[in-house]
Amino acid sequence: MKNLKVVLIVLGVGLFFAFNNPPKFLSHSHSIKGEGNAVTKEITLDPFHSIGLSLDADVILKQGSPQKVEIDAEANIIDNIKTKVRNGSWNIGFEENVRKHEKITIYITIPDLKAVSVAGSGDVTTKGAFTGMENLALSIAGSGDLKLEGEAKSLDISVAGSGDVLMTGSAGKVGVSIAGSGDVNLKDLVAGDCDISIAGSGNCKVNTSGNLDVSIVGSGDVYYTGGAKVHSSIMGSGDLHEM
């Protein structure tokens, strides 16, 4: 009985402090709400060639030098955006939890682009074409969209979720992986060899003159043009269509 009383006292003290000092993720007092009108602020970052977007924002990419980053949002929201660059990649996220904010637009000018990833509902668009790219990797996990124009020696695209990828330009070798309902539209991107894998209901359009290797598991469809030599493996109701 004595031991039980001690346990109950300890639990009571613990609950008291828990309710009076809740952890950050349970307390609105530790989350941020956008305040005031939107402003445009230029921020200085270490050089980067890749971005990872993990917040609800529109990112506009432009090729150029010197590197420049401008953010259009509420001032306290801008101050809460991470600015750390690691291994040439800028992970665009919040330092602290944000419960409400108005539209965020980020304008980025960089000399080279190697990778773009979106986790969530953010969108990334290029303004003008990126040229001279070696290996470009694009990925979406969520409902965000990518709309890019450029020239790359190789292009790798991965979509998990309902996000869409639209890219125009050219690429020597293309690899596409879709898991979910997202669509990849490369019909205006002139490609060499293409390797496409779909698991789910997502669709892919390609323009290729080389080898086209297709694997479909599910109801996804592949639409192709360009006179490619096709090799396919299909399980489910998905199909190949020549445009």
Q: Please list the pLDDT of the chain residue by residue as tens digits (243 residues).
A: 434 333 333 333 343 333 344 444 444 457 899 999 999 999 999 999 999 999 999 999 999 999 999 999 999 999 999 999 999 999 999 999 999 999 999 999 999 999 999 999 999 999 999 999 999 999 999 999 999 999 999 999 999 999 999 999 999 999 999 999 999 999 999 999 999 999 999 999 999 999 999 999 999 999 999 999 999 999 999 999 999
In the chain, what are the domain boundaries?
1-30, 31-112, 114-243
Q: How far is 95 from 81, CA to CA, in rounded Å?
A: 6
- The arrangement of secondary structure in 114-243, i.e. its CATH architecture, is 3 Solenoid (2.160)
Element at 98 (helix H, strand E): strand 98-100
The answer to whether the 31-112 and 114-243 domains have the same CATH topology is yes
Q: How far is CA 149 from the centre of its chain?
A: 16
Q: Is 162 helix (H, G, I), strand (E, B) or coil?
A: coil
- Is 142 in contact with 118 (CB distance < 8 Å)? yes
- The arrangement of secondary structure in 31-112, i.e. its CATH architecture, is 3 Solenoid (2.160)
